[in-house]
Amino acid sequence: MIEPTAALVWCPFPDREAARKVAGILLDEKLIACANIMGDIESLFEWNGERGSDVEVAVLFKTTQSKCDHLVIRLGECHPYDTPAIVGWSCDKAHPATLDWLALQTGDKMK
């Protein structure tokens, strides 16, 4: 039996309202088990050849590895930015109860 593997996806949003809206969609679609909407972050970046900065809200999405690719694509579709910064990765370690909860919430059945 292969257990689900935990995965995380990180993405900044322009504000809490946008983050909550997208998190709700992703929860409804069972692509995530949880979205941790964090406080304001300052982002420094280059865009279109110019340096900029802005205050954004960071979100860490919790899911399973088998849902991660679809989550990254769907998050890009729902995100208010034209080119959102979305990065995801598999987790090497997770508590067994966390893995069970992720699988239950996302419908990712153990194989």
Pick from 106, 16, 97, 28: nearest CA to 67 = 106
pTM for the full model? 0.93
Sorted by sequence, the CB contacts under 8 Å of residue 16 that are 6+ apart come out as 37, 57
pLDDT digit string, tens, across residues 47-61: 999 999 999 999 999
The CATH class of 6-106 is: alpha beta
pLDDT for position 2? 60
- Whether the pLDDT of residue 111 is over 50: the answer is no
pLDDT for position 4? 76
Pick from 109, 106, 103: nearest CA to 30 = 106
- Whether the pLDDT of residue 1 is over 50: the answer is no
